[in-house]
Amino acid sequence: MLQSPRNHRNPACRRDRANSLHVVLNRWRMRNDFAPDLRRLALIAPAQIVSRRTLPVVRRLSRVRNGRTPVTTVTTPSGVEVRVFRPAHSSGRLPGLLWIHGGGYVMGSAAQDDRWARAMSERVGIEVVSVDYRLAPEHPYPAAIEDCLDALRWMIDQPDIDATRIAIGGNSAGGGLAAALAFRARDEGVELRLQLLTYPMLDDRTRKPDPRHRLWNASANVFGWSSYLGGADTGEAVPARRTDLAGLPPAWIGVGTLDLFSTEDRGYADRLRTAGVECQVDEVCGAFHGFDIVAPRTSIAQDFFARQCDAVRRALAHD
């Protein structure tokens, strides 16, 4: 039904239009803060894509799969599904990377990273194992990290993977899980070559708003962490709250300067170095959260992926 002219003169309608215009103008004024490759997308990308209200819809959308990427699926003896990528025409034992998908601990699946995993496998010449872990809030901590640990144990037992050359990694919440998994692996005596942390979600205390944040903002962060933690001991469950960093594997941390996680990631890197852990930080100027996922064909995203590959290649090379 068409609204009457009187509705258009309603004060609430005028305020809504004014607020919308204010947002558009602010985004236009801030456009030069973003990297040139990302400016157009930054004008239209939402600040937040998931909340308690939108979670069911976002989950349905994230289950859409790309069937064109060759993949082998395996279920571990404990019932965890992994997706395995091995270079074409390869033989013998290869180094391995356990990859953990993102999604704020509440959404996503391993299948969403099939293209990334296939490209990493082919370019570096390794076996990539991508794990489908249980999601919060239905399965709060420690369900996800237990699934990741199970996948790592499965990898170590595989005859076609060199157990002395294994790295772990993930993006966003997957990066947070990889960081948490590094503690578990260290405590079990498992030696890892690298933790590849791509804009990792490390600290539940991060909630400072910034109008330049895209896709994942302070509000989404509160929702994701509260869903994941439940009543867990944050001193154990949250990587940035851990105090026992000595003995962790070397780390590579990549994050955009306009990512909500920029400050926490750089702070974690500093603490790793203080604890004697080698850590390389790759800051992408003018990049927001998940920029390489939503704009994979841009030069800034492709260069970022190339540096990820270089980090993995160096870490998994023969001694």
Determine which one of 113, 150, 204, 259 is catalytic. 259
Cis peptide bond prior to 239, omega within 30° of 0:
no
259 counts as catalytic? yes
Of 240, 209, 242, 204, nearest to 221 by C-alpha is 204
Options 172, 203, 227, 265, the catalytic residue:
172
Task: Verify whether residue 101 is a known catalytic residue.
Answer: no
User: Annotated catalytic residue: which of 114, 213, 289, 292?
Assistant: 289
| All residues at 6 or more sequence positions from 52 whose CB lies less than 8 Å from its CB, including other chains | 223
Active site residue 121: no
The residues annotated with a catalytic role in the active site are: 172, 259, 289
